[in-house]
Amino acid sequence: MGTSFQGYITRLIAWLKSFPWPYQTAIAQKFGPSRLPVPNAPEDMTSTKQYEGHASKAYMSLKMAFRDIGRLNAVGETLGRDFLTAMPEGAYKSRLGQIAFLYRRMHEELSDEKLHGYLEEASEHQKANPHEWDEWDNANMREMEAMYRHLACVPADLMERKARLAYEGRRKHRDVLKADDWSEARPFLEDMVSLQQRIAEAKVLKDNAHPTDELYQSLMREYIPGAKLSDVETSFSRLEEKLKEILPWILEEQAKRPEPIPLIGPFPAAQQMWLNKSLLKVMGFDFDRGGLYETGHNPVEGGTPDDTRLVIKTSDSRNFLESMKSALHEGGHGIYIQGLPRDTWRYQPVGQDLGAAVQESQALLIEMILGRTKEFFTYLAPRVEGLFQKFGDPAMTAENLYALKTFVKPGVDRKGADEVTYFFHILHRMRLEKDLIAGRLKVKDLPEAWNAGIKDLLGVEPQTHAQGCLQDVHWFVGKFGYFPAYTMGHMMAAQIHDKMKLDIQNIPQLMGAGDFMPVQAWLLDKIYRNGRLMRSDDLLDSVTGAKLTPAPLINHLQERYLGAL
């Protein structure tokens, strides 16, 4: 009897499924969709979305293919962290080979014809059977297609070379910066620019709807997916105009107050690391799934939600605020990564972060916006006074630490720049990298163009190459098009902060008590746990009720540096 009853039910479901899809949606909700299981899914994970069965066989194959690409990427991240922290010098050459090989394999998996076939088949299934696809599956498909479109057009040789040069570049940058050696840097950068141009050309062939600076835009989109260069430039023009107007007022107002008292070290590296780790714990960073490490290289964030290793420098023993700034910044990246939907979507594209601009928004929200409030320094001051045994030191008061971190001074250095002039460093770099990629500027002329540009924007002149065009690691690791993500992120951070203030009304008191939990919970709910469910524009709109605009950042800077207007 059981068998014939089941047969009846099967025929009934088949009959119901022949209805047009709005009815099917109702039926699917009632009886559950007809899901095929994923072959070889680990038994304890079948309830996760990564391994959940799906009516489209092609989509399940895609989920497994992207899981494997994600696994390779996680291995690459681990090799990279090891490169920066623990690898013996003698392993340098073999490590470059390992990393380059791994990235080539990843690229081959992604650009495989079979994967393309699955994408087409799954997309057809999605159109014909929308009731079988929930919003997360739809978003996952959209992100799979976007990754394929963005990367599969680039030949594997170029991707392999890119991975190798990125790690060679880290070391090259460390060395040329130390030696202030432009003649060593120049041929390397020439190689890098030409590689980037070739990668951009491969991308533009696929997507040539943009007439000006399309090569640069295609590189920028790796960091700010979907962004139009013209939109970025419109926001930047508005910021430039407004900040040029308010900077003289800020300096004038500041001159009326006494200068902050400089810190006097030493601040031993071990204690700086203790402070930085403590602050990460306060922020809600989970040390069971990550850690904070020291490097002789530039700071780096990244890894996976299960293994988020942040890497910073503590080389300045005269000023603990420098490494603390990196810890807050990288910590902002870190809690975002750890909050991604790892249990359900682990390696799937929809489970990843939204790219560099949103990443930077989370880092700058903690580092520059919340981490530079008067109240935060009220929390910090007695603790650092005790930690570094600087009892009664007038430089270590909350007021003075706040004054030090909010002192505005046009300078040659981006990383040490204050919150107001920081933008000009980004604008300067974006103009130069755009010209380099378009071929309007040759690498050999970079030092001169650099010095002229920064003088024009901020009235300052670098005395050495290290203070000028050698200061940043980005171009050495091939990140052309990354710089605008900092300012786009700063704008997003200010816009998100405005909304957060409405939802959590006592943020200053919370900062004063070192209580980041309500802020972290809010960010987890509004941003982190959504992964790539929405594109960044839509996410920002859903969180703040508006598209990205520079107005909140301008208001924030005016309020903090000129007082409420």
> For tokens 């107005």, what's the residue?
551
Told to check if 363 binds Zn ion by CB under 5 A, we report: yes
Q: Report the chain's C-alpha Rg in angstroms.
A: 25
Cα–Cα nearest to 349, from 57, 19, 69: 69
DSSP for 253-309 reads: HHHTSPPPPPP-----HHHHHHHHHHHHHHHT--GGGEEEEE-SS--B---BTTBEE
Nearest Cα residue to 219 out of 499, 495, 481:
481
363 or 491: CB nearest Zn ion: 363
The nearer residue to Zn ion, 334 or 531, going by C-beta atoms, is 334
| Residues constituting the chain | 565
Specify the residue, 54 or 474, whose C-beta has the smaller distance to Zn ion. Answer: 474
| Per-residue tokens: 217 | 């835009």
Structure tokens that stand for 79 in this block: 């090799």
The site that binds Zn ion (CB under 5 A) totals a number of residues, namely 1
Q: Shortest Cβ distance from residue 365 to Zn ion (Å)?
A: 11
Do the Cβ atoms of 191 and 162 come closer than 8 Å?
no
Min. distance of Cβ 360 from Zn ion in angstroms?
5
Using the minimum distance from each CB to Zn ion, give the nearer residue, 236 or 483.
483
Q: Which stretch binds Zn ion (CB under 5 A): 1-9, 80-88, 363-371, 531-539?
A: 363-371
Nearer to Zn ion, 159 or 365 (CB): 365
Closer residue to Zn ion, CB minimum distance, 223 or 347: 223
Q: Within positions 259 to 278, which residues make up the interface with Zn ion, using CB under 5 A?
A: none
From residue 426, alpha-carbon distances to 312, 451, 455, 467, 474 in Å are: 21, 14, 14, 15, 12
Nearest approach, Cβ of residue 332 and Zn ion (Å)? 8
Is 437 a binding residue for Zn ion by CB under 5 A? The answer is no
284 vs 332, beta carbon nearer Zn ion? 332
Q: Are 45 and 348 in contact (CB under 8 A)?
A: no
Smallest distance, Zn ion to C-beta of residue 330, A: 7
Asked if residues 216 and 197 have their Cβ atoms less than 8 Å apart, the reply is: no
Of 192 and 363, which has the nearer Cβ to Zn ion? 363
Output the smallest distance, CB 329 to Zn ion, in A.
6
- At closest approach, how far in Å is the CB of 353 from Zn ion? 12
Measured distance CA(217)–CA(481) in Å, rounded: 7
Nearest to Zn ion of 166, 449 (CB atom): 166
Q: Shortest gap between Cβ of 308 and Zn ion (angstroms)?
A: 14
DSSP 360-402: HHHHHIIIIIITTSHHHHHHHHHHHHHHTT-TT-GGGSHHHHH
Q: What is the smallest separation between the CB atom of 206 and Zn ion, expressed in angstroms? A: 29
182-186: long-range pairs with CB below 8 Å, 24+: 182/447, 182/465, 182/469, 182/470, 185/465, 185/470, 185/476, 186/443, 186/444
Placement of tokens 């890119």 in the chain = 162
Q: What is the dihedral of CA 488, 494, 495, 497, to 10 degrees?
A: 140
Closest to Zn ion by CB, 363 vs 396, is 363
Provide, rounded to whole angstroms, the least separation between the CB of residue 436 and Zn ion.
Answer: 22
Please report how close the Cβ of residue 15 comes to Zn ion at its closest, in angstroms: 56
What is the per-residue binding string for Zn ion in 207-226, x denoting contact by CB under 5 A?
--------------------
Q: For 32-97, what is the HEC assignment? A: CCCCECCCCCCHHHCCCCCCCCECCHHHHHHHHHHHHHHHHHHHHHHHHHHHHHCCCHHHHHHHHH
- Joined tokens for residue 31: 């009886």
Which residues in the 512-541 window bind Zn ion by CB under 5 A?
none
Residue least distant from Zn ion (Cβ): 363
Site string for Zn ion, 323-362 (x = CB under 5 A): ----------------------------------------
364 in contact with Zn ion (CB under 5 A): no
For residues 148 and 336, which CB has a smaller minimum distance to Zn ion in the complex? 336
Smallest separation (angstroms) from Zn ion to the CB of 362: 9
Residues found near Zn ion in the complex (CB under 5 A) = 363
